Structure 1
Amino acid sequence: MKPTLIAQLLQTLAPWRNAPAWHVAFSGGLDSTVLLHLLACLAKTETLPPLGAVHVHHGLQAAADAWPSHCQSVCDSLRVPLRILRVQVRPGGSLEGAARDARYQAFTQVTGAGQVLFTGQHRNDQAETLLFRLLRGAGLRGLAAMPAQRPLAAGYLVRPLLDVSRGELEAYANEHQLNWIEDPSNADSRFSRNYLRHQVFPVLTERWPQAVSGLARTAEHLSEAQGLLDELAQMDLHAADQSAPFPWLHLPSLALAPLRELSDARQRNALRHWLAPLTRLPDSDHWASWHSLRDAKGDAQPVWRLADGELHRSGERLWWLPATWSEFSDASLGWLDPQNPLELPGNGQLKFTGNAPEGPLQVRYRQGGEVIEVPGRGRRDLKRLLNESGLPRFVRGRLPLLYRGEQLLGVPSIAGRWAVPSEGWQLHWMPQTCDQGLS
C-alpha cells in the first residue's frame, strides 16, 4: 500500500532533520500551500528544525499585491513566521526567466550556512521541464530536469515533492480544506510552460495516461546518467590538474596533454564540468572553437571566447581568464613611498624586499623594445627574456616594470631569475586574484 503523503514526506526529509533551520518558498499557490501545511503538521509530532516561510513579491501584476496578506494569514493560522521579500525583475529577455532569477537571488539571502530551502515543485512540473528542455535541444544535464537537491548559497535547495503528482496535492488540499492562490498568469498559454500544461499534456495523457510519471521517471534515469558522467569528468580532470608553472598566477588552468589522450566526447565532458562554475556553457555549434584551440601549433596562442571570459592556451596549458581580467589600468604610476606596497588599479600589488633603490621611481607597462641589464649577461631584450621564461602572453601586458627616469631598473622576480638585480633588492608582484570569475 502506498504510504500517506505525510509519511512519504517524512521519509524524504530524513537527511535534512539536523539542519539549523528550514525555510519554505511560499508563493501561496497550491504546491507551496500543501508543502507548508504538511511541514507544520509534522512539526506538531516530530522534532524538526525551526520552520519559516518566505514569500517573494515580484510586483509584476496588480493581483499580486493581495498575495502577501493571504500568505500572512495562512502562516498565522499555522503559527509559522513569514518573511516577505520584494524584488525588482529586470526587463528584457524572458520574463519568466528574469522573475525566476530575481526569486532565487532573494532565496540566497535567507538561506544561511547549512540551512534548507524547500520548494514545492512536483512530478507534473518535472515532466513539463523535461519536455520543455527536450524541445529546446538541451543536452543530458538539461534533460535531467530539476534535481531533488542542490547547493543554494551556503545551504541547500530541496524539492521534496518531486515524486508526488499534482492530483495528489489537490486531493490533500481539498481533504484539509486549504485555500490557495490561483495565479492568473498560469492560464496564459503565451508562456511556453503554460502551453505545454494546458495544450500538450492533456492530449498526451489522453493517449498515454502514464505520460507524466513516465517522463518524470526518464528524468531520474537521465539524472543518474549525468551523475556518472560527472564522476568520469572528475577522474579525467584529476589527470589534467597538474601543478601550474606559475603558482602565483591565480587563474584556473589545466594541462592539455592528458586531455588530448581522451576521445572527443570525453574531452567535451571534462571541459563542460570544469567550465560550468566559470561561465555559461557553449551550445553544440561552438565546440569547433575548442578543436581549433586544442589543435593549434604550440606557438599560436589561440583563444576561445565564451560568454563570461576566455579560454587561452599557452604552450601545453589551458588558462581561464574571466571577463574581469582585462579590467585594469595600464597608466603609469609614481611610487612615492617605496617602503610600502604600491596598489596597482585592477592589477594587484607591487612591493620591494630588501632596500628599495633611490627614486624617483615609476611603474609602467610594456610598450615594446624594452631592454634590461641582467646580472652576468649584460643588456638583454625584454621580449626575448620573457619568451625564455615561458610566461603566458596574456600576462605580459600586465607585468609591472620599474623605471627611474627612462632607465628600466627591474621586472618582478616572478618573471624569471634574470629579473633579480644585484643591488640587494627584489621586486615582487602579487597579481589580482580572479575569484570574481568563479560563480
Structure 2
Amino acid sequence: MIEKTISKYKNKSFLIAYSGGLDSTVLLHQLLEIKKKYSIKIRAIHINHNLTLLSKKWTEHCKKICDINSISLIIENININKKTSNIEEKLRIKRYNIIYNHLFFDEILLTGHHMNDQCETFILSLKRGSGPTGLSSMSFETLFGTKKIVRPFLNKTKKELMFWAKKKHLHWIEDFSNLNIDYDRNFVRHTIIPVLEKRWPYFLKNCFRTTNICQQETRLLNYFLHEKIHDFIQFDDSLNIKDFKNIKKEICTALIRYWLLSKKIKIPSYKNIQCIYHQMIFSRIDANPKIILEKYEIRRYKESLYFIKKQINLKNTLLFWHKKYTKLILPNNLGNLIKDNNGIELPAPKNNELINIRFQYEGYVLILGRNKKRKIKKIWQEKKIPPWLRNQIPLVFYNNNFISALGVFIININNKNRGTWKISWESDLKSAHNDLFSFY
C-alpha cells in the first residue's frame, strides 16, 4: 500500500507516530513488511495524553507490540487539565513539539493520517472561514521545522485501512473518547460525513480532490509571491510597507501572509491578516500599532513591519553589579555584561558609587558630543532604536546617575577625578524573531 512511497526517500530512517489505534497500527506493520525488502530503520514514539484511566494500558499495548517486533519505542506523557478550553488544539501543539525534539536530523516522521482525516480537516477549515491555504488541509509531505512529515495513507480511506488490518489479523486500540461528539472533529466524523457519504458516495474522494486543487493554487500563488516579496523584504527581515497604500489590497494581504510563512508559526487566519493590513497600513503615521500572535508580535516602525518575540517588560527591573570583575547575567536572555579590554569605554565609577543596571529612563539627557539636552525618546528615535528594543538595552547607572545606554550613547558627565573602564555586552539581541522551531 505504501511501499512505493517509502522506497523513493533517500533518507531511510523513519519515526512512526504510534498511538496504537487502527491507522498507526497499519502503518507500523506495513513498514515491517517493507523492511524485509529494503534496508530501512524504524523507531516509534507513543504519546500518552493521560485523558483516560485506560491510557496506561494503551501504552503497555504499544510497548508490547514494539518489543515483539524489535522496534525501539519512545514513550512520553502529557498532563493537561481536562477542562481546558480548545483541548484538542493544545494537545496537538504539545504532541508535535515533543515529537520534533525526538526526531533525528536525518529522520522522517510518518503519521497514519488518511483520506477521512483530510476530509474532516477540510470541513473544519470551512467552518473557520479559511481561504485556499487553509482548505489545502494536509499534504503528503510537510516541512516540520528543518525536518519532514510524510503522510503515506493520505490517498487511502479508513475503510481500506480497516480491510487490510482485518486481513492481517492485527490488534489495535479503540479509543472510545473518539465517539464523544462534543469535540469538533468527532462531530464532523460521526455526524456530518456519514450523512454526506450516504447522499454522495463519492464525497470523500471529491473532497480530497478539492484539497489537492487548493494545494496547487496555493503553490502557484506562492511561486509568484516568492518573486515579488524580494522587492519588500529588507536586510533585517522586516517588511517594507511604504508603498502598500498604492498597491491593491489583495496583493498586500498576500505579501503579508507570505512574509509570515517564513516565521515558523501557524499562519494567521484570513480575519487576522485583514486586521494586520488595516491596522498597520492605515493607522496614524505617529501611531505604534501592535498585533499579538501567540508568543510573537507584529510591530510597525518607520514604514516597515517587524515580527518579534514577546519579551517580559523590564521597566521596573534593577540589577546591582556589586563585583564588577564578575560577569553580570542579564534577564530576558539578553546576554551578560563583563569588564574587559575590548568593550565600550565609559567613565569609571568611584569607590563609593554603586553600579546598577536599569532598563527604563524618562526625561532629558545630555549625551557626549552635544551641547544641549534632549528628551531621551528623541535620542532613541535619532539612533533608530525601535520602541520594543528600548527597554531591552542595559542602562548603566552609578548610584542614581545615568551613565550610558550601552552601545547606543554615553551621557556627558563631569569626568573630573575619574578614570575609564571598558564593558562588553555579550548578547544575541536582534530585532527579528529567534530561529528556534516551535510548532503551533
Instruction: Confirm or deny: 8 A CA contact 2:291 2:297 kept in the other structure.
Output: yes
Q: Which has the higher helix share?
A: 1
Query: Match for 2:308: what amino acid?
Result: L
Structure-1 residue corresponding to 2:80: 89
User: Partner of 1:378: helix, strand, or coil?
Assistant: coil
Distance 1:305 1:117, change over 3 A: closer
Structure-2 residue corresponding to 1:107: 99
Query: Per-residue CA shift, 1:85-141, capped at 9, x if unaligned?
Result: 333234301333343334323322431112112111111221222122212322322
| CA distance in 1: counterparts of 2:193 and 2:407, whole angstroms | 66
Structure 2 residue 258 is the aligned partner of structure 1 residue 273: yes
Partner residue of 2:380 out of 382, 386, 390:
386
Structure-1 residue corresponding to 2:301: 314
Structure-1 residue corresponding to 2:28: 36
5+ long unaligned stretches in structure 1 = 245-251
Structure 2 residue 283 is the aligned partner of structure 1 residue 296: yes
5+ long unaligned stretches in structure 2 = none
Partner residue of 2:347 out of 331, 349, 357:
357
Shift of 1:161: 0.7
Structure-1 residue corresponding to 2:196: 204
| CA distance in 2: counterparts of 1:142 and 1:342, whole angstroms | 47
Partner residue of 2:330 out of 323, 337, 344:
344
TM-score (norm 1): 0.82
Structure-1 residue corresponding to 2:6: 13
| CA distance in 1: counterparts of 2:75 and 2:289, whole angstroms | 50
Query: Match for 1:293: what amino acid?
Result: M
Instruction: Confirm or deny: 8 A CA contact 2:309 2:434 kept in the other structure.
Output: no
Query: Match for 2:198: what amino acid?
Result: E
Instruction: Confirm or deny: 8 A CA contact 1:24 1:119 kept in the other structure.
Output: yes
User: Partner of 2:216: helix, strand, or coil?
Assistant: helix
Query: Match for 1:28: what amino acid?
Result: G
Structure 2 residue 18 is the aligned partner of structure 1 residue 59: no
Instruction: Confirm or deny: 8 A CA contact 2:16 2:24 kept in the other structure.
Output: yes
Query: Match for 1:357: what amino acid?
Result: P
Query: Match for 1:212: what amino acid?
Result: L
Distance 1:94 1:424, change over 3 A: closer
Cα RMSD (Å): 3.3
Structure-1 residue corresponding to 2:150: 158
Say which structure, 1 or 2, has more relative contact order (CA 8 Å, 6+ apart).
2
- Identity of paired residues, percent? 27
User: Partner of 1:67: helix, strand, or coil?
Assistant: helix
| CA distance in 2: counterparts of 1:196 and 1:212, whole angstroms | 13
Structure 2 residue 308 is the aligned partner of structure 1 residue 328: no
Distance 1:90 1:15, change over 3 A: farther
Structure-1 residue corresponding to 2:239: 254
Shift of 1:243: 2.8
Query: Per-residue CA shift, 1:314-348, capped at 9, x if unaligned?
Result: 22222233222x43354444444556664433344
Give the 5 Å matches for 1:134-149.
Answer: 134-149=126-141
| CA distance in 2: counterparts of 1:47 and 1:291, whole angstroms | 55
Structure 2 residue 78 is the aligned partner of structure 1 residue 75: no
Instruction: Confirm or deny: 8 A CA contact 1:88 1:102 kept in the other structure.
Output: no
TM-score (norm 2): 0.82
Query: Per-residue CA shift, 1:375-408, capped at 9, x if unaligned?
Result: 3x42432434334333333333444443445554
Query: Match for 1:56: what amino acid?
Result: I
Instruction: Confirm or deny: 8 A CA contact 1:351 1:428 kept in the other structure.
Output: yes
User: Partner of 2:288: helix, strand, or coil?
Assistant: coil
Aligned length: 420
Structure-2 residue corresponding to 1:168: 160
Instruction: Confirm or deny: 8 A CA contact 1:58 1:86 kept in the other structure.
Output: yes
